Structure 1
Amino acid sequence: MLQPHTCQRARRSRDARFDGQFFTAVLTTGIYCRSICPAPSPKEENVRYYPSAAQAAQAGFRPCLRCRPDCAPNSAVWNGVDTTLSRAIALIHRGDLQDQNLPEFAERLGVGDRYLRQLFQKHLGLSPKTYALYQQCLFAKQLLHQTQLPIHQVAVASGFNSVRRFNDCFQKNLKLTPTQVRRQTNPASETIQLDLSYRPPYNWDQVQPFLAARTIEGLDACDANSYRRTFQHDGVTGSFHAIHQPTKNRFQVSIELDDLQALRPTIQRIRRLLDLDVDSEAVFATLRECLPEPFPLKQGLRIPGQWTMFEAGVRAVLGQQVTVVAAKKLVRTLIETLGETQGSQRFFPTPRAVAAADLSFLKMPQSRKNTLATLAHHYLTHPEPDQPEAWLALKGIGPWTVNYAKLRGRGDPDVFLGGDLGVKKVVQQHTPDLDPNRAAPWRSYLTMQLWSMY
Structure 2
Amino acid sequence: MLDRELCRQARLSRDARFDGQFFTAVKTTGIYCRPICPATPPLESNVVYFDSAVAAAQAGFRPCLRCRPDSAPDSPAWRGTQTTLERALRLIDEGALQEGSLASLCERLGIGERYLRRLFQQRFGVAPKTYALYRQCLFAKQLLHQTTLPITDIAYASGFRSLRRFNDAFKSHIGLTPRDVRREPAERSSALTLRLAYRPPYAWESLRDFFISRQIKGLEWVGDQHYGRCVAWGEARGHFTAEHRPDRHDFLVMLELNDLRMLSPVVRRIRRLLDLDADTAVIEAHLSHALPDLSLIEGLRLPGVWSLFEAGVRAILGQQVTIVAARRLVTTLVTTLGEPVGEAGGQVRYHFPTSSRIADSDLAFLKMPEARRETLHRFATFHRQQTENFDEPSTWTALKGVGQWTADYAAMRGASHPDIWLAGDLGVKRALPSLNGHDPAGAAPWRSYLTLQLWSR
TM over 0.5: yes
Q: What residue number does 2:237 align with?
A: 237
Q: What residue number does 2:448 align with?
A: 444
Q: What residue number does 2:282 align with?
A: 282
Separation (CA, whole Å) in 2 of partners of 1:189 and 1:8 = 34
Q: What residue number does 1:339 align with?
A: 338
Matched residue type, 1:297:
L
Q: What residue number does 1:305 align with?
A: 304
- Give the Å deviation of 1:434: 3.0
Separation (CA, whole Å) in 2 of partners of 1:287 and 1:97 = 37
- Give the Å deviation of 1:292: 3.1
For the structure 1 residues 216 and 191, does the alpha-carbon distance in structure 2 shift closer, same or farther, using more than 3 Å as the test? farther
Tell me the alpha carbon deviations over residues 292-329 of structure 1, each in whole angstroms, 9 at most, x when there is no partner: 33x32111000011111110000000001111111001
- Give the Å deviation of 1:107: 1.7
Q: Map 1:163-312 onto structure 2 (within 5 A).
A: 163-183=163-183, 191-293=191-293, 295-312=294-311
Q: Map 1:39-58 onto structure 2 (within 5 A).
A: 39-58=39-58
Separation (CA, whole Å) in 2 of partners of 1:387 and 1:55 = 30
- Give the Å deviation of 1:96: 1.6
Q: State whether residues 315 and 406 of structure 2, in contact with CA within 8 Å, keep that contact through their aligned partners in structure 1.
A: yes
Separation (CA, whole Å) in 1 of partners of 2:83 and 2:119 = 11
Separation (CA, whole Å) in 1 of partners of 2:407 and 2:436 = 25
Q: State whether residues 273 and 303 of structure 2, in contact with CA within 8 Å, keep that contact through their aligned partners in structure 1.
A: yes
Q: What residue number does 1:398 align with?
A: 403
Tell me whether 14-23 or 73-82 shows the greater mean CA deviation: 73-82
1:357 to 355, 361, 378: 361
Matched residue type, 1:100:
G
Q: State whether residues 78 and 85 of structure 1, in contact with CA within 8 Å, keep that contact through their aligned partners in structure 2.
A: no
Q: State whether residues 233 and 262 of structure 2, in contact with CA within 8 Å, keep that contact through their aligned partners in structure 1.
A: no
Tell me the alpha carbon deviations over residues 175-233 of structure 1, each in whole angstroms, 9 at most, x when there is no partner: 011001014899x9985000000011110011000001111221111111001111233
Tell me the alpha carbon deviations over residues 39-65 of structure 1, each in whole angstroms, 9 at most, x when there is no partner: 011111100001111111111111000
Separation (CA, whole Å) in 1 of partners of 2:333 and 2:147 = 36
Q: State whether residues 155 and 166 of structure 1, in contact with CA within 8 Å, keep that contact through their aligned partners in structure 2.
A: yes
Match status 1:108 vs 2:104 = no
- Give the Å deviation of 1:125: 1.6
Separation (CA, whole Å) in 2 of partners of 1:377 and 1:95 = 25
- Give the Å deviation of 1:93: 1.8
Q: State whether residues 191 and 256 of structure 1, in contact with CA within 8 Å, keep that contact through their aligned partners in structure 2.
A: no
- Give the Å deviation of 1:390: 1.6
- Give the Å deviation of 1:381: 1.1
1:413 to 404, 408, 418: 418
Matched residue type, 1:123:
R
Q: What residue number does 1:434 align with?
A: 438
TM, length-normalised to structure 1:
0.97
Partner-residue secondary structure (3-state), 1:247: coil
For the structure 1 residues 357 and 348, does the alpha-carbon distance in structure 2 shift closer, same or farther, using more than 3 Å as the test? same
Match status 1:70 vs 2:70 = yes
Separation (CA, whole Å) in 2 of partners of 1:184 and 1:69 = 15
Q: What residue number does 2:370 align with?
A: 366
Tell me whether 100-109 or 155-164 shows the greater mean CA deviation: 100-109
Cα RMSD of the aligned pairs, angstroms, is 1.6
Partner-residue secondary structure (3-state), 1:343: strand
Matched residue type, 2:7:
C
Tell me whether 323-332 or 336-345 shows the greater mean CA deviation: 336-345
Matched residue type, 2:376:
L
Q: State whether residues 149 and 189 of structure 1, in contact with CA within 8 Å, keep that contact through their aligned partners in structure 2.
A: no
Separation (CA, whole Å) in 2 of partners of 1:434 and 1:222 = 36
Q: State whether residues 158 and 261 of structure 2, in contact with CA within 8 Å, keep that contact through their aligned partners in structure 1.
A: yes
Separation (CA, whole Å) in 2 of partners of 1:245 and 1:285 = 25
Separation (CA, whole Å) in 1 of partners of 2:200 and 2:92 = 25
Separation (CA, whole Å) in 1 of partners of 2:438 and 2:454 = 11
Separation (CA, whole Å) in 2 of partners of 1:103 and 1:338 = 37
Structure 2 gaps of 5+ residues are 344-348
- Give the Å deviation of 1:340: 1.3
Partner-residue secondary structure (3-state), 2:298: coil
Match status 1:329 vs 2:334 = no
Separation (CA, whole Å) in 1 of partners of 2:78 and 2:325 = 40
Separation (CA, whole Å) in 1 of partners of 2:319 and 2:382 = 19
Separation (CA, whole Å) in 2 of partners of 1:184 and 1:372 = 52
Partner-residue secondary structure (3-state), 2:247: helix
Partner-residue secondary structure (3-state), 2:37: coil
For the structure 1 residues 347 and 374, does the alpha-carbon distance in structure 2 shift closer, same or farther, using more than 3 Å as the test? same
Tell me the alpha carbon deviations over residues 400-434 of structure 1, each in whole angstroms, 9 at most, x when there is no partner: 0000000000011111111100001100x322523
Separation (CA, whole Å) in 2 of partners of 1:359 and 1:382 = 21
Separation (CA, whole Å) in 1 of partners of 2:55 and 2:240 = 32
Q: State whether residues 79 and 89 of structure 2, in contact with CA within 8 Å, keep that contact through their aligned partners in structure 1.
A: no
Separation (CA, whole Å) in 2 of partners of 1:189 and 1:37 = 22
Q: What residue number does 1:382 align with?
A: 386
Q: What residue number does 2:317 align with?
A: 318
Partner-residue secondary structure (3-state), 1:303: coil
Matched residue type, 1:238:
G
Partner-residue secondary structure (3-state), 2:126: coil
Tell me the alpha carbon deviations over residues 25-84 of structure 1, each in whole angstroms, 9 at most, x when there is no partner: 000111000010010111111000011111111111110000000000012234553111
TM, length-normalised to structure 2:
0.96
Separation (CA, whole Å) in 1 of partners of 2:191 and 2:75 = 28
Matched residue type, 1:338:
L
- Give the Å deviation of 1:437: 1.8
Partner-residue secondary structure (3-state), 1:65: coil
Separation (CA, whole Å) in 2 of partners of 1:67 and 1:305 = 28
Q: State whether residues 291 and 440 of structure 2, in contact with CA within 8 Å, keep that contact through their aligned partners in structure 1.
A: no
Q: What residue number does 1:33 align with?
A: 33
Q: What residue number does 1:23 align with?
A: 23
Separation (CA, whole Å) in 2 of partners of 1:77 and 1:232 = 29
Q: State whether residues 230 and 238 of structure 1, in contact with CA within 8 Å, keep that contact through their aligned partners in structure 2.
A: yes
Separation (CA, whole Å) in 1 of partners of 2:78 and 2:68 = 22
Q: State whether residues 203 and 301 of structure 2, in contact with CA within 8 Å, keep that contact through their aligned partners in structure 1.
A: yes
Tell me the alpha carbon deviations over residues 362-420 of structure 1, each in whole angstroms, 9 at most, x when there is no partner: 11111111000000000111142232122111000011000000000001111111110
Tell me whether 382-391 or 4-13 shows the greater mean CA deviation: 382-391
Q: State whether residues 304 and 414 of structure 2, in contact with CA within 8 Å, keep that contact through their aligned partners in structure 1.
A: yes
